[in-house]
Amino acid sequence: MSGFEAATAVKRIGDGRYEADLDGDFGFAEALNGGYLMAVLDRAAVDASPHEHPISTAATFLRPAKPGRAELVVDTRKAGRTAATSLVGLVQDGRPVVEALITTGTLGAAAEPVFAGPAPAVPVPPLEECTSMLPDEGAEGFAGQVDMRFDRSTMGWLDGTPSGRPEIRAWFRLRDGYGPDAVSLALTVDALPPVALNLGSKGWAPTVELTWHMRAVPAPGWLAVHGTGRLLSDGWFDEEVEVWDSTGRLVAQSRQIARVGIGVRK
Amino acid sequence: MSGFEAATAVKRIGDGRYEADLDGDFGFAEALNGGYLMAVLDRAAVDASPHEHPISTAATFLRPAKPGRAELVVDTRKAGRTAATSLVGLVQDGRPVVEALITTGTLGAAAEPVFAGPAPAVPVPPLEECTSMLPDEGAEGFAGQVDMRFDRSTMGWLDGTPSGRPEIRAWFRLRDGYGPDAVSLALTVDALPPVALNLGSKGWAPTVELTWHMRAVPAPGWLAVHGTGRLLSDGWFDEEVEVWDSTGRLVAQSRQIARVGIGVRK
């Protein structure tokens, strides 16, 4: 076991209690990525459930998580035949860091949609036309774990020319070949840089709340990730992410609300 | 105090403990409306917080709520200067009925958006062209509390001609003249009939999880409510609602995931 699987492993230490060893490579500076943390919470929720998939994960981020030991508490609130719900908390040094209401269920791998809305109006360009943000393949940290290839037209913020449109589009896969699966999708929905960077915002945009829904079992291959936003007002910004698999299926959707820091362009 | 204000009143009975008397008029048959329940939870969360508005409410619906006495438990998880987060549970007969992670903050009534995305492509038609679903004004129950005027083109499911597009558009206000305000918006985001009815689904579509975000302080007047959905697959359906106020501001946005019952048209 290595890479993403090891980094998200949970060890059962009691009834509804788990421990994890959080991997600093899934973060930036001192703060671990929210999607990575949700992946750990979802893994614990599924382990404690009779069902296979985290259908709904509504996570609130209370404090930055640090690399190292964390404890998870899974408190089952309802155990139904179709779905089960638990409150899952991640605790470090005795303080709650992330809490999530997680509903698990089991999606059929061969389920055919009764209705599927249109794919995003602007697709991610072909992989060979997209760009890694990395100078080389020797990157460490988050970029060393995750292979993302960006639509260049959505990355103007990198060189000081933000597009003015809160959109980022990219291809996504884990470098170690893991997944995609139910747990890695939690990472995927929060892997893009903040789309508010294209509105001229500066710096970190801490996620306050993120809800994501798993909608289908993803097929092998690259995932197309579409990030957008609706409103930046009073320091609050929403970001919506849709994840489409290699067969063109919508496999995950999320919305988060984040604080956008000082330095926003008026 | 009467109408919506009385129906959502919470009485503090201890540290983080409240009681409410749930009003059967805010429901259908035996099940109370999820938006009404969120309004009660949000009222308790705001009362226990130094902040004024429920910025983020991520609610999971465990069991149907019944009219009558309910207890609310507000467990503060973080009390910050900008935002505070609590876990709020609604309990009846000793069993958890709804649980929500609620983050409160205070939005400026005069805040000007830094960025606002476009209004929905298809507006709600002028009020005089929209229709109430009621035969007369003497309606009881939910329709006696809430005045909604629907875009007829989105209501074909009523007479057996669903449009095939998961969309419902309507104007909304409370009949007693209350609001709109932070608490009534919780009701508004879950007041439409299930948009999956336009896909030919039959019967009740129980909400499993609904997250809504308050984005601005609503101006007086009618609210425009836009409901859509992306994917109906494996018995699960997402529904997104945007609420726009009389000045054309996005004031609330929500997504829910619901079970869609037997009888779905394939």
Per domain, the residue ranges of chain B are 3-106+126-259
Q: Which residues of chain B make contact with A116, given a CB cutoff of 8 A?
A: 230-233
Q: Which residues of chain B make contact with A101, given a CB cutoff of 8 A?
A: 58, 60, 99-101, 209
* A201-221 pLDDT, tens digit each: 887 789 999 999 999 999 999
Q: Mean pLDDT of all residues in chain A?
A: 94
pLDDT at B263 (0 to 100)? 46
User: Strand, helix or coil at A143?
Assistant: helix
**Which CATH fold topology does A3-107+129-259 show?**
Porin (2.40.160)
The minimum CA-CA distance between B114 and chain A, rounded to whole Å, is: 5
Is B264's pLDDT higher than 50? no
Residue A35 host element (H or E): helix A34-47
Residue A39 host element (H or E): helix A34-47
Query: Of B28 and A265, which is predicted with more confidence?
Result: B28
Q: Which residue of A has its CA nearest to B250?
A: A231
Distance of alpha carbon A77 from alpha carbon B36, whole angstroms? 21
Question: Cβ contact (<8 Å) for B101 and A101?
Answer: yes
* A15-53 pLDDT, tens digit each: 999 999 999 999 987 789 999 999 999 999 999 999 999
Q: Using a pLDDT cut of 90, give the percent of chain B over it.
A: 88
Fill in the amino acid letter for A103: T
- pLDDT band at B266; cut points 50, 70, 90: very low
Is B86's pLDDT higher than 50? yes
* A67-85 pLDDT, tens digit each: 999 999 999 999 999 999 9
The minimum CA-CA distance between B121 and chain A, rounded to whole Å, is: 14
Q: B163 near B198, Cβ under 8 Å?
A: yes
Residue A188 host element (H or E): helix A182-188
* Sign of the Cα pseudo-torsion (B256, B85, B184, B71, in order): positive
Q: Which residues of chain B make contact with A228, given a CB cutoff of 8 A?
A: 117
* Lowest pLDDT segment from A135-144, B125-134, B144-153: A135-144
Token couple for B190: 């879950």
ipTM of this predicted structure: 0.96
Query: Considering the domain B3-106+126-259, what is its CATH architecture?
Result: Beta Barrel (2.40)
pLDDT at A28 (0 to 100)? 81
Contacts of B108 (CB under 8 A, 6+ apart): A234, B217
Q: Which of B111, B250, B255 sits opposite A255 (nearest CB)?
A: B255
Q: Which residues of chain A make contact with B41, given a CB cutoff of 8 A?
A: none
- pLDDT band at B2; cut points 50, 70, 90: confident
A·B CB contacts under 8 A? 179
Residue A187 host element (H or E): helix A182-188
Q: Which residue of A has its CA nearest to B231?
A: A116
Residue A178 — left, alpha, or beta (φ > 0 → left; ψ -120 to 50 → alpha)? Answer: beta
Question: Cβ contact (<8 Å) for B103 and A60?
Answer: yes
Question: Cβ contact (<8 Å) for B56 and A209?
Answer: yes
What does R_g of chain A's alpha carbons equal in angstroms? 18
Q: A98 near A90, Cβ under 8 Å?
A: yes
Q: Which residue of A has its CA nearest to B111?
A: A234
Three-class SS of chain B: CCHHHHHCCCEEEECCEEEEEECCCCEECCEECHHHHHHHHHHHHHHCCCCCEEEEEEEEECCCCCCEEEEEEEEEEEECCCCEEEEEEEEECCEEEEEEEEEEECCCCCCCCCEECCCCCCCCCCHHHCECCCCCCCCCCHHHHEEEEECHHHCHHHHCCCCCCCEEEEEEEECCCCCCCHHHHHHHCCCCCCHHHHHCCCCCCCEEEEEEEECCCCCCCCEEEEEECCEEECCEEEEEEEEECCCCCEEEEEEEEEECCCCCCC
Question: Cβ contact (<8 Å) for A208 and B257?
Answer: no
Distance of alpha carbon B151 from alpha carbon B149, whole angstroms? 7
Q: Which of B107, B211, B264 sits opposite A255 (nearest CB)?
A: B211
Question: Cβ contact (<8 Å) for A253 and B238?
Answer: yes
Question: Cβ contact (<8 Å) for A113 and B259?
Answer: no
Token couple for B46: 């705001």
Is A156's pLDDT higher than 70? yes
Question: Cβ contact (<8 Å) for A116 and B78?
Answer: no
Partners of A60 in the beta sheet?
Answer: A99, A209
**Burial label, B5 (beta-carbon count in 10 A; 0-12, 13-18, 19+):** middle
The minimum CA-CA distance between A217 and chain B, rounded to whole Å, is: 11
Distance of alpha carbon B89 from alpha carbon A109, whole angstroms? 34
Q: Which of A55, A242, A264 sits opposite B236 (nearest CB)?
A: A55
User: Strand, helix or coil at A69?
Assistant: strand
Distance of alpha carbon A201 from alpha carbon B172, whole angstroms? 35
The minimum CA-CA distance between B146 and chain A, rounded to whole Å, is: 27
Question: Cβ contact (<8 Å) for A238 and B111?
Answer: no
Q: Which residue of B has its CA nearest to A113?
A: B233
Q: Which of B117, B208, B215 sits opposite A103 (nearest CB)?
A: B208
Question: Cβ contact (<8 Å) for A231 and B238?
Answer: no
Q: A210 near A189, Cβ under 8 Å?
A: yes
* B200-225 pLDDT, tens digit each: 988 778 999 999 999 999 999 999 99
Question: Cβ contact (<8 Å) for B77 and A62?
Answer: yes
Q: Which residue of B has its CA nearest to A60?
A: B101
Question: Cβ contact (<8 Å) for A253 and B230?
Answer: yes
Fill in the amino acid letter for A238: D
Token couple for A194: 């903040």
Is A104's pLDDT higher than 80? yes
Q: Which residues of chain A make contact with B258, given a CB cutoff of 8 A?
A: none
* Pick among A52, A53, A60 to test the B interface (most B CBs inside 10 A): A60
Is A131's pLDDT higher than 80? yes
